[in-house]
Amino acid sequence: MKILIENGIIITLGANPKVLYGHSVLIENQKIKSIDKSASFTDKYDKVINANGKVVMPGFINAHMHFYSTLVRGLGKAKPAANFTEVLENLWWRLDKKLNNEDNYYSTLIMAISAVRHGTTTLIDHHASPFSIKGSLNTIAKAVKETGLRASLCYEVSDRDGKKISDEGIEENTEFIKQCNMTNGEQIKAMFGLHAAFTLEDKTLEKVSAIGKELNTGFHIHVAEAESDEAHSEKNFGMRVVERLDKFGILGDKSIAAHCVHVNEKEMDILAKNKTIVVHNPQSNLNNAVGIADIIKLQSKGILVGLGTDAMTVKMPEEVRVALWAQHIRNQNPSCGFMEAANTLLTNNAVIANKFWNVKLGSIEEGAAADLVLIDYYPPTPLDDSTYLGHVIFGISQSTVDTTIVDGKILMENKIIKLDIDEEEVSRKSLETAKKLWDRF
């Protein structure tokens, strides 16, 4: 289809961000064909979208997500936790052992539909279901494909449930990566998932490192989320977490180190040297009371710092606001961190995604992927090249997504989901699935 979007305020983002008035965007063959003054578009088009009263932006990107956590919403059966280790033991590690493929499917589908509603078009996920590993990534991929979103998937390898489960996780990653490499599609991508250093033995790190090199893939792992991760590493291995991961070749420019709340300056230098991606998840870190990552210092070292949600939300503008407030608290300075926080979502997440996808994401420019969102917004103050960041964080973030387009396909228009999905029926099935899961918890 040839789709023309007209009458909106275009915020291009990308390497040379611009705010454009009186321009239209033409989509053709799943990509942005052109952006030009509206008067220049005189042909007939399959569809014309009137974006009056809306900003037009690239779709949002979530650089660290856990689809599998969806079905705990409202669950009150976990014991109260006094620290992060107890959060894992009382909730998440109890949950993931009970997940089956039906749970994996509906937890993904529910959050993917929510992502469409909130204009998040690309998600980098990290999955765990230790007693339902085989085929889990294809199940998640099926749900993602049904919603039309883009996602990178992986399975978190861990030794916490024994060698058999660890080996199954390694095999699931390996086979899924090979499958994605073979199909070479631009909707589903793959990474090699690892849980965290404190649940991985040296022999496992050595094994997966060799496989990762053979497959030419990056790793997706939680790093120094809590101080206990660092304490465990120093006590048992005589080195800090990032040093240990570096020793086994886990780091690199296509590897994601999620969290990095407690890395020290030496570890930051190692991350910078290896060009490893760091993904900040402020809402999760605050919720789990593990601390606040120093994204100002991390970025000053030249580290690429993106923004994830750790499944707390799929509404990315909400997460970037929290990232900013958290830096103010961390530094006891209400004037710091604005650019560093804004860049995680509006610049760096696109750079991260473009390491994995072969179509250009995160910008409105000729030849880029037609992944766009239209958001209700009448600017009450000047909105231009010098002020758009403030509008995104303080205004657009509070507005409603009207239309979501991915790969040139309209997934939602006028706030109505356009997928071949009965959202009410999906929610009903999810409710049934959640009740059975809760009974097993």
> What are residue 406's DSSP bridge partners?
409
Give the residue extent of every domain in the chain. Answer: 3-59+360-417, 60-353
Query: What φ, ψ does residue 255 adopt, rounded to 5°?
Result: -105, 140
The token duo for 82 is 């006094």
Short-list 284, 384, 277, 292, CA closest to 329: 292
> What are residue 278's DSSP bridge partners?
257, 305
Q: What pLDDT, on a 0 to 100 scale, did the predictor assign at position 248? A: 98
What is the β-pairing status of strands 120-125 and 60-65? parallel
Which residue matches tokens 């995680």?
A: 344
Where are the alpha helices (H) located in 190-290, listed in sequence order?
Answer: 202-215, 227-237, 241-247, 265-273, 282-287
Tens place of pLDDT for every residue, the chain, 441 residues? Answer: 899 999 999 999 999 999 999 999 999 999 999 999 999 999 999 999 999 999 999 999 999 999 999 999 999 999 999 999 999 999 999 999 999 999 999 999 999 999 999 999 999 999 999 999 999 999 999 999 999 999 999 999 999 999 999 999 999 999 999 999 999 899 999 999 999 999 999 999 999 999 999 999 999 999 999 999 999 999 999 999 999 999 999 999 999 999 999 999 999 999 999 999 999 999 999 999 999 999 999 999 999 999 999 999 999 999 999 999 999 999 999 999 999 999 999 999 999 999 999 999 999 999 999 999 999 999 999 999 999 999 999 999 999 999 999 999 999 999 999 999 999 999 999 999 999 999 999
Do 45 and 28 contact (CB within 8 A), yes or no? no
| pTM of the model as a whole | 0.98
Helix (H) or strand (E) holding 34: strand 31-37
Residue 342 identity (one-letter amino acid): A
Distance CA 80, CA 390 (A): 38
Distance CA 267, CA 246 (A): 10
Q: What pLDDT, on a 0 to 100 scale, did the predictor assign at position 358? A: 96
CA distances from 97 to 94, 129, 437, 441 (A): 6, 6, 10, 9
Residue 197 identity (one-letter amino acid): A
Q: What pLDDT, on a 0 to 100 scale, did the predictor assign at position 296? A: 98
Give me the CATH code for the 3-59+360-417 domain, please. Answer: 2.30.40.10
Highest CATH level, class, for 60-353 = alpha beta
